[in-house]
Amino acid sequence: MIKEIQAKVLLSHAKQPDPWFGIKYGMNLYRGCQHQCIYCDSRSECYQIENFNDEVLVKANAIDLLRKELASKRVKGTVGTGSMNDPYMPLEGRLNLTGRALAVIAEFHFPVHVMTKSDLVLRDLDTLCQINRVYAAVSFTITTADDELGQMLEPGAPLVSERFRALKTLAEHGIHTGVTMMPILPFIEDDEENIGRIVEQAHAHGAAYIIPWFGMSLRDRQRAYYYDKLDDLFPGLRQKYERTFGDQYHCAAPNADRLARVFNELCDRRGIATRMKWYEPITATQIKLF
Ligand code: SF4
């Protein structure tokens, strides 16, 4: 079900940019996500999204709020979108809320980082190129190189191969683009062959970076949903998780250290960074030099 809501505030604000992606302002245009990844952390109780599996809330006044809030910001910083929902879920094709938000961000000359699993992002290529005069980055979440497995784990999202193709187009247009390889699901995706295939595909499609996490989080409602899906898709695996992780929140793949070594070697060989390049504001001294 799709419902419209009126939000009071749109952008969240961090004192310091976050250590992974350099995001200063978080932007969620939706609550809930049609991609319905079986491992999604947004189901956790702390986020208070009650009907995550059946409902998407659309912030109908988001564009007005964004314009007002960006106009009042004294510090320029990266606006990040895509951590609690996918800004290019199927509904976005019709509503164009993310597309309109990007146009406002371009107008105010703010940098942006988009995280997505969808090639729909290509619709906004021109706007992203405009924003890229300041800074634009697009990260595609890819945790398996196998389309079939991807469809089992992320049933509402486009195929992994479509994400790679979109990544290539963005890279060819000069957008800073790469892969967020997270979460790597223990006992499902944590094998060297999978990691190797992702790195090779990322390299072949022009990725500048891959940011890995060899493990996943599990808590309350998220864990219950994930375990139910494991029962359907991988009978017997829930019991292995229960034995290995108990009630733990951070669930590292048991072979995480080895995978990290293999991953780092492969990325070194292919010239792929394991961190992304952040937006660097132009300093007063640089302005004087111009
Ligand atoms: S795309 Fe992201 S937010 Fe959406 S269901 Fe998947 S993990 Fe959750």
pLDDT tens column, 85-125: 999 999 999 999 999 999 999 999 999 999 999 999 999 99
**150 alpha carbon – ligand 1 mean position (Å):** 13
57 and 30 in contact (C-beta within 8 Å)? yes
Question: Cα dihedral sign for 111, 117, 123, 126?
Answer: positive
Q: What is the mean pLDDT of the chain?
A: 95
φ and ψ at residue 212, rounded to 5 degrees: -100, 160
CA atoms within 13 A on the CB side of 16: 3
Q: Is 43 in the pocket of ligand 1 (CB under 6 A)?
A: no
Return d(Cα 132, Cα 129) in angstroms, integer.
5
Query: Residue 290 pLDDT > 70, yes or no?
Result: no
201 and 164 in contact (C-beta within 8 Å)? yes
pLDDT classification of 280: cutoffs 50, 70, 90: confident
212 and 184 in contact (C-beta within 8 Å)? yes
Q: Give the type of residue at 43.
A: R
Question: Cα dihedral sign for 43, 44, 46, 50?
Answer: positive
CA atoms within 13 A on the CB side of 158: 21
Ligand 1, atom 8, lies closest to the CA of: 40
Q: Where in the chain are the domains? A: 2-289
Mutual angle of helices 220-233 and 237-245, in 10-degree steps? 140
Residue 111's pLDDT is 98
pLDDT classification of 279: cutoffs 50, 70, 90: very high
82 and 115 in contact (C-beta within 8 Å)? yes
Tokens coding 64: 């007005």
According to CATH, the topology of domain 2-289 is pyruvate-formate lyase- activating enzyme (3.80.30)
Q: Is 42 in the pocket of ligand 1 (CB under 6 A)?
A: yes
pLDDT tens track for 39-57: 999 999 999 988 998 999 9
Pairing of strands 215-217, 250-252: antiparallel
How many C-beta atoms lie closer than 10 Å to residue 69's C-beta?
A: 18
**258 alpha carbon – ligand 1 mean position (Å):** 27
φ and ψ at residue 79, rounded to 5 degrees: -90, 125
φ and ψ at residue 197, rounded to 5 degrees: -65, -40
pLDDT classification of 17: cutoffs 50, 70, 90: confident
Q: Is 37 in the pocket of ligand 1 (CB under 6 A)?
A: yes
Ligand 1, atom 7, lies closest to the CA of: 40
